[in-house]
Amino acid sequence: MDRGKFSLLLLDPGEIYFEDFSAVLIPPDITPKTFDNKKQDGRLKMCSKSLVFDPKDINKPIIKISLKDCVVIEQWKGSAKYLTSNNVLTVNCREYIEMLEGNIVAPYKFKESTNFLFQLNYANIMNCLPQICQLHRASTLPAAEQADMIATIVHSRQARVNFDPLWLDLYEKVVLETEADKVTPLVVNPGRILLSTSRLFFQPYNNVETVPVIRIELNNIKRMVKRRFLLRHIGLEIYCSESSSNPHIYLSFRNQAQRDNLHDKLLKEPALKLEELDQDVMTLQWQNGIISNYDYLLYINSLGDRTINDLTQYPIFPWIISNYTASDLDLQDVNNFRDLSKPVGALDDVRLRRLLERYEEMSHPKFMYGSHYSTPGFVLFYLARLYPHYVLCLQSGRFDHPDRMFNSVADVFKNCQTNMSDFKELIPEFYDISQQGNFLVNNLGINFGYRYNGRKVADVELPPWAESPKNFVTILRDALESDIISRKLHQWIDLIFGYKQQGEEAVKANNLFYHLCYEGNVDLDLISDLNERHALEVQIMEFGQIPKQVFKVPHPQRKVGLPLLNEPHQIKLSETEDLWKNMSDLEVVTTFNTHKNTVSHLFISDDCTRVTSVGHDSKLKVFSLQQNRQTRSANIGNMPLSSCIQMPNVNVLVIGSWDNQIVLYDLDYGKVTESVLAHEDAITCMCWGKIASILVSGSGDCTVKIWKGLNNNGIVRPIQCLQKQIDHNSHVNCLDFDMNNNYLAVGTEDGEVYIWQTKDFILNKKFQIHSSSITTINYSPDGMKLALGSRNKTLQIIDVETGLSVFTKTMKSPISSLKWDGFLLILGCDDGNLFIWDIVKVKLLYEVDKAHSGAIRTVDISSDKSIIVTGSEDRLIKVWKPK
């Protein structure tokens, strides 16, 4: 806000400024001799609930006359020699307000009744007086009816205004024109939106903006987010590049259909190039250390409809530090940190018991907490020194009592632990090192008054361990990014944005608030009674709103103990790994084409010298990478082969076949040495657990069989090694062990994932992931996640503890194979396309269009990561390397 100049913040929250008139204010005590000295030139503003006179002299106070306090508003009928015309408006009021006298932000002065004369210089009083009188009549109605009448007046005025086409370029075509409001904290400014083929325009109905029309180039728009504004799904927030003259705008619309129509039209414009900022990508990058806890919390707040442009839904950050009295703060001591598994209201056991006693005695709908953790009042409680004009707007021109202000960090934290009505969390500014803690300092020199002990309210008192506001915020940020917090932050996310936010889980977690502050518990559009609707709006706005629920299952934990991966200098990459991360092309080293049908499975030997494959032609093939030729070919039965595994310590291959058999092939002797009828249907997949020395086989008969001791003492007798059979609800398509062989993951035809404990093969977890077949499955190197490919074209990475999808990507065709090794994730699809991902940074490194002419059924990465090998329905095996 420009100090000493008119701002919408000088009006009541949500009040609308229509237009202004050049005018001369004539004070009541003026005489012909004092006219020239006492008259004030300025602008008379006509607003929906008040008249505001903004004097040209910035040292004179702005005068605000509330229409509800007006007794008479009419054309002046008197006469005076110093008035050149009768184009004069007289306003008799019981009370008026003086603001910003001497261009100083201070509490407003409320003056008793008087009579004002405003001589209009250019406007005709007979044109503007009826409009003012109509608004005056509205002010006499009850609040709800007044809001409804003002809305009708606003709609009538705005319907007569069209967008000025002169703002368009010669070749610019109009796509859409509609009404919308520009939203900033406590302010709603109506205008017209026009979407053209190259730009988005906002033309306000008044002249309060710094420019007559806000213009946003479509190619500058980076992100769009649909928002819930004042409990209705009518908001749209648009983010542009930082270099743009308008980097950000928040709009609200008359209804959801108008908002969605503009959003959809924008998406169809070729000039629009949005950044990909998928929720799954952000969660996975956060887990991997690519983005900080601070940035991830900001992102989740955005997903939960929290924005700095709406004080009723301002971003929420947690209290992290619990020690504000020590002279030194040890960030390695867990006792200095708040328990993030509990809401603020449950941190103190004594207070919690009292709250639970009250809860038990309460009638339905029950709630534990009588106030919220985030409201407009709480946000401005923290920001009063930085934005005093917002406080004056929200609190009707007054600051809070000096002893109730944000005077001491330690006192506020203590109050949040013990007070029966104080449960507030923090705001991003406490952790934003770019602002250096300026919200803690009274840089504007505002007179907030004196406390009970006679001390003047000045800067916020910091803990003894903080040297300055900048140091305080820096320490808090370091605490937020610490391993101690990283291990627990997901628990706080569960409370505020996740599955413990509402319902039975909220009750268990002592996290239940008043029912009206939860999204969806009231639909204001269905309430026809104006007074009831208005009362609900006021109640919910003042009490606070629960964020939109972002996660329905437990949030995954962040990896800890690793350097932040967004600092490349901290990571030592091998030369080969560096090639993958920075490759300019992917080249085929060699191609083998001796299979006569689909290549169903292959693997690269541990010493990276051979590729072994099996196919639907019943053939086993071995290729030498050093000699670049086939070195062995064997016919294994008469049915397609699905899988092949190299046994450790002996030169024997275990092969799965569609004739339900497991076949052992001795490479030294070049013959089948053993076969067993292992399943009642085709064997679809096999996997070897190196640490546990377990072979598992999956089949179309819906079972997985466990073979243990298959290679004891060099004797390979599968029929003697069958240990257990585990059943599933549909065909088993794929399976994989985690790195330590503690768990076996199984993917099935009906889209289910089973996770079995290998110690006793008891079911550990079961997730319904897809509605269609899971075709391929692979554990992450750390065993914390599973990569799944499906028949419905979806690549999905899930957290194995919670089943939460932390990354989802829809491909152009079904996914037929994948391999996860280190930071690389190789993906083969039915359309023959090959994809190489850096799955730590969640970045597509390379895409090979039509790497094969048929579906890529199998992929492998060499142990030294120097090559990848693919096998396809086109009967070819290709060896690839980066360059």
pLDDT 10s digits, 510-536: 999 988 888 877 777 777 777 777 777
Model-wide pTM > 0.85: yes
484 band by pLDDT with thresholds 50, 70 and 90? very high
The pLDDT of 767-795, averaged and rounded, is 91
For 75-102, the DSSP string reads E-----TT-S-S-EEEEEEEEEEEESGG
172 touches 198 (CB < 8 A): yes
What mean pLDDT do residues 437-452 have? 94
Residue 99 confidence (pLDDT): 94
DSSP per residue, 159-221: HT----GGGS-TT--EEEEEEEEEEETTEEEEEEEEEESSEEEEEESSS-SSSSSEEEEGGGE
Residue 412 phi, psi dihedral angles, 5° rounding: -65, -45
- Over pLDDT 90: what percentage of the chain? 71
When mean pLDDT is compared across 12-21, 222-231, 286-295, 540-549, the lowest value belongs to: 540-549
Please say if the pLDDT value at position 6 is more than 60: yes
Q: Which CATH architecture has domain 161-275?
A: Roll (2.30)
Q: Residues 164-178: what's their mean pLDDT?
A: 89
pLDDT of residue 44: 95
Residues 817/830, Cβ–Cβ less than 8 Å? no
| Per-residue pLDDT at 490 exceeds 90 | yes
Q: What is the pLDDT, as a whole number, of residue 246?
A: 83
pLDDT at residue 811 is higher than 80: yes
- Angstrom CA distances, 192 to 19, 161, 201, 423, stand at 16, 8, 8, 40
Are 523 and 358 within 8 A, CB to CB?
no
Going by pLDDT thresholds of 50, 70 and 90, the confidence category of residue 277 is: low
389's tokens: 């004009």
Residue 632 and residue 653: Cα distance in Å, rounded?
A: 13
Helices H, strands E: what count in the chain? 16, 42
User: φ, ψ for residue 415 (rounded to 5)?
Assistant: -65, -35
Beta bridge partners of 805: 798
pLDDT digits (tens, 9 = 90+) for 421-430: 999 999 999 9
CATH 1.10.1540.10 domain locations along the chain? 318-543
Question: What is the DSSP secondary structure assignment for residue 558, as one 8-state letter?
Answer: P
Q: How far is CA 164 from the centre of its chain?
A: 36
Phi and psi of 606, rounded to 5°?
Answer: -60, -30
Name the helix (H) or strand (E) containing 147: helix 143-159
Residue range(s) in the chain whose domain bears CATH number 2.130.10.10: 575-882
Phi and psi at residue 379, to the nearest 5°: -60, -45
- Give Cβ neighbours of residue 131 (< 8 Å, ≥ 6 apart): 18, 46
Average pLDDT score over the chain: 90
Look at residue 857 and tell me whether its pLDDT is greater than 80. Answer: yes
pLDDT digits (tens, 9 = 90+) for 543-589: 888 999 999 989 999 988 644 444 333 344 566 777 888 888 899 99
> What are the beta bridge partners of residue 182?
189, 251
First to last CA, the chain: 55
pLDDT of residue 4: 41
Residue 432: pLDDT above 90?
Answer: yes
User: What pLDDT does 868 receive?
Assistant: 96
Predicted pLDDT of residue 436: 93
Residue 81, pLDDT > 80, answer: no
What is the DSSP pairing of strand 62-66 with strand 50-55? antiparallel
- Beta carbons of 376 and 316 less than 8 angstroms apart: no
**Secondary structure (3-state) at 294:** helix
Name the band, by pLDDT with cuts 50, 70 and 90, for residue 418.
Answer: very high
Q: How far is it, in rounded angstroms, from Cα 165 to Cα 184?
A: 26
Task: Please state, in angstroms and rounded to a whole number, the distance separating the CA atoms of residues 303 and 305.
Answer: 5
Fold of 8-156: PH-domain like (2.30.29)
| Residue range 494-509: mean pLDDT, rounded | 95
- Does the pLDDT of residue 602 top 50, yes or no? yes
Cα-atom radius of gyration of the chain, to the nearest Å?
Answer: 35
Domain with CATH 2.30.29.30 in the chain: 8-156, 161-275
- Cα separations (Å) of 75 from 38, 89, 96, 386, 834? 21, 5, 19, 42, 79
Instruction: Tell me the β-bridge partners of 604.
Output: 611
CA distance 366 to 446: 42
Q: How many CB atoms lie within 10 A of CB 304?
A: 25
Query: What phi and psi values does residue 300 have, to the nearest 5 degrees?
Result: -65, -40
CA-CA-CA-CA dihedral for 473, 476, 478, 480, to nearest 10: -130
Which residue, 788, 799, 795, is CA-closest to 813?
A: 795
DSSP 372: -
**Domain 575-882, what fold?**
Methylamine Dehydrogenase; Chain H (2.130.10)
Mean pLDDT of 340-345: 96
Helix 530-543, helix 143-159: angle, nearest 10? 100
The answer, yes or no, to whether residue 829 has pLDDT greater than 90, is yes
Is residue 803 within 8 Å of residue 553, measured between CB atoms?
A: yes
**Residue 611 CB contacts under 8 Å (≥ 6 apart), including other chains:** 592, 602, 603, 604, 605, 622, 623, 625, 860, 869, 877, 879
In what helix (H) or strand (E) does residue 370 lie, and over which residues does it extend? none
Q: How confident is the model over 613-672, as pLDDT tens digits?
A: 999 999 999 999 999 999 999 999 899 999 999 988 888 899 999 999 999 999 988 999
- Show Cβ contacts of residue 398 under 8 Å, excluding neighbours closer than 6 positions: 107, 108, 392
pLDDT computed for residue 561 by the predictor:
65
DSSP helix, strand, coil percent of the chain (3-state; round to 5):
25, 35, 45
Q: Which amino acid is located at 480 in the chain? A: L
Pick from 347-356, 537-546, 557-566: least confident = 557-566
CATH superfamily of 318-543: BEACH domain (1.10.1540.10)
C-alpha distances out from residue 867 to 219, 320, 609, 821, 862, Å: 39, 46, 11, 12, 6
Check residue 723 and give its pLDDT.
87
Q: Give CA–CA dist 672/793, Å, rounded.
A: 38
C-beta of residue 265 within 8 angstroms of C-beta of residue 175: yes
Rounded to whole angstroms, the Cα distance separating 35 from 74 reads 22
Mapped onto helix, strand or coil, the DSSP state of residue 280 is: helix
Helix (H, G, I), strand (E, B) or coil at 398: coil
How far apart CA 79 and CA 69 sit, in angstroms, is 25
DSSP code for 408: B
Residue 709 has pLDDT above 80, yes or no: no
* Sheet containing strand 641-646, strands side by side: 641-646, 652-657, 661-666, 671-677
In this predicted structure, the answer to whether residue 1 has a pLDDT above a threshold of 60 is no
Question: Can you give the pLDDT at residue 718?
Answer: 65
Q: What is the pLDDT averaged over residues 831-842?
A: 93
Q: What is d(CA 124, CA 22) in angstroms, rounded to the nearest whole number?
A: 11
Residue 427 has phi, psi (to 5 degrees) of -125, 165
pLDDT number for residue 574:
62
Q: Enumerate the β-bridge partners of residue 250.
A: 237
For residue 536, the surrounding DSSP H or E stretch is helix 530-543
Residue 755 CA to residue 766 CA, distance in Å, equals 6
Tokens of 145: 């009816």
Q: Please report which helix (H) or strand (E) contains residue 394, including its range.
A: helix 388-394
pLDDT at 700: 95
Position 197 confidence tier, pLDDT thresholds 50, 70, 90: very high
Pick the more confident residue, 716 or 634.
634
Phi/psi of residue 425, each to 5°?
-95, -170
Mean pLDDT of 706-730: 77
Average pLDDT over residues 433-457: 94
Phi, psi of 411 (to 5 degrees): -65, -40
Under the banding of pLDDT at 50, 70 and 90, the label for residue 14 is confident
